[in-house]
Amino acid sequence: MFSVGKINIDKAILLAPMEDVTDIAFRKICKEFGADVVYTEFVNSDGLIRSNKKTEKKLEITDFERPVGIQIYGGNLEPMIEAAKIAEQKNPDIIDINAGCWVKKIAGRGAGAGLLKDPCYMQTMVESIVKAVSIPVTVKTRLGWDQNSINILDVAKRIEDAGASSLTLHCRTKTQGHSGEADWSWIEKVKEVIKIPVALNGGVFTAEDVLRAFTETNADAVMIARGAIEHPWIFREAKLLLNGEKYSEVTPEERIETILRHLKYSLELKDERAAIIPFRKYYAGYLKGLPASKEVRIKLYQQLQFEPIKEILYDYLEKLQSEEFLEKKL
Ligand SMILES: Cc1cc2nc3c(=O)[nH]c(=O)nc-3n(C[C@H](O)[C@H](O)[C@H](O)COP(=O)(O)O)c2cc1C
């Protein structure tokens, strides 16, 4: 059971924090497809205490997405405590501490996965933040720095002792980055040493993977990152499988309707150009597997306005629905 503060969800499916991906628009889409809890991208504690406007913007959340967690990162205690207090003012359901980021400029400075090198300091940081705020504090971390220094069992106990409400375990080491196999067998070992809920993360790319993660491990929750970028409907499919039901393949109509809805949500937050350029990263996943989608993507990449994008997609949909086209392309 994923019990964190007022949240009580059996076999919860969580949307992972992802930089430049999990903004309000994408979180809203994932929520609509059934994500139980969503997280902001990580927010730099130093930027928050300097009142950097771009950093502060990342704290924005909406009631629609609840329960929602704001994730913060940093290697220094005082700025992290201050950042947690600033984040708390936005009234999220959870403050999540990033203790897993592997990027050199972050982990190398003692933040993110860098905290795994000093579990005692990580414990102090979690404890201080728990004391400083009145909402649940959770931690997302990895197995250890590298294969020869896996210390998650010690780290997990320290995180629990520090008062954290749950632990998300990305079942890879820092040196693995995002590649290599995620070793889910650690979930059971971690569950043996702590009582707080444990969320499994890493290598969950399909609804079948979600089912397998819950069947093969005793995780309280499963957190999906890249698998959601490719297809946010993974949450709906996984929920059906967990209920013992089958799901039907998402239709081309729904894929295209999702692109347009997602883009519209982005346009509510930013001006047209600022919304459309970063949105390009989503086309490949949304159109994956559809006939002649590469040509469509090339056309979409050239557009900087919503209307022509809509036209290209509707034309494409019409073509997809014509039998002649399908016969030629399949
Ligand atoms: C584009 C991208 C951005 C990410 N940003 C964050 C982040 O801000 N905070 C964080 O804790 N993890 C971040 N991650 C790591 C993911 O949350 C997750 O731990 C990792 O991708 C493994 O899960 P997966 O195998 O389901 O992708 C990011 C991953 C990707 C691909």
User: Could you report the per-residue pLDDT of 246-258, keeping only the tens digit for each?
Assistant: 999 999 999 999 9
Of 310, 294, 224, residue with least CA distance to 261 = 310
Q: State how far the alpha carbon of 146 is from the alpha carbons of 37, 171, 251, 266, 291, in Å.
A: 29, 12, 42, 38, 42
Is any atom of ligand 1 closer than 6 Å to the C-beta of 99? no
From 226, 234, 281, 282, give the residue whose CB has the most ligand 1 atoms within 8 Å, as the site to mutate. Answer: 226
CA angle (185 as vertex; 183, 191 as ends), nearest 5: 125
Q: Quote the ligand 1 centre to 98 CA distance (angstroms).
A: 10
With cut-offs at 50, 70 and 90, classify the pLDDT of residue 327. Answer: low
Q: What atom in ligand 1 is closest to the CA of residue 226?
A: 27
| Three-class SS state of 271 | coil
Terminal-residue alpha carbon distance, the chain: 44
Maximum distance among all alpha carbons in the chain?
A: 65
Question: What DSSP state is assigned to residue 150?
Answer: B
Residue 226 CB less than 6 A away from ligand 1 = yes
Measured from the Cα of 204, ligand 1's closest atom is: 26
pLDDT band at 111 (very low <50, low <70, confident <90, very high): very high
In this prediction, residues 84-97 reach a mean pLDDT of 98
Ligand 1 in reach of 119 Cβ (< 6 A): no
Beta carbon of 74 within 6 Å of any ligand 1 atom: no
Which of 36, 62, 59, 35 lies closest to 47, judged by CA? 59
Instruction: List Cβ neighbours of 327 (8 Å cut-off, separation of 6 or more).
Output: none
Q: Report percent pLDDT > 90 for the chain.
A: 95
Is residue 44 within 8 A of residue 257, CB to CB? The reply is no
| Range list of H helices, 162-242 | 185-193, 207-216, 226-230, 234-242
Question: Does the beta carbon of 174 sit less than 6 angstroms from any atom of ligand 1?
Answer: no
Q: Cβ(281) to ligand 1 under 6 A?
A: no
Q: Measured from the CB, is residue 112 less than 6 Å from ligand 1?
A: no
Say what the pLDDT of residue 324 is: 57
Determine if ligand 1 sits within 6 Å of the CB of residue 100: yes
Looking from the CA of residue 224, the nearest atom of ligand 1 is 26
Measured by CA distance, the residue closest to atom 3 of ligand 1 is 18
Confidence of residue 210 (pLDDT cuts 50, 70, 90): very high
> Positive or negative CA dihedral for 100, 200, 161, 188?
negative
Residue 326, pLDDT score:
61
Q: Which of 172, 178, 208 to probe ligand 1 with, by most ligand atoms within 8 A of CB?
A: 178
Please give the positions annotated as active site.
Answer: 101
Report the pLDDT averaged over residues 123-129: 98
Determine the Cα–Cα distance for residues 273 and 95; give it in Å rounded to an integer.
31
321: confidence class by pLDDT, cuts 50, 70, 90: confident
Q: How far is the CA of 42 from the centre of ligand 1 (A)?
A: 10
Question: CA–CA distance from 170 to each of 96, 108, 135, 177 (Å)?
Answer: 14, 19, 23, 10
Residue nearest to atom 10 of ligand 1 (CA): 17
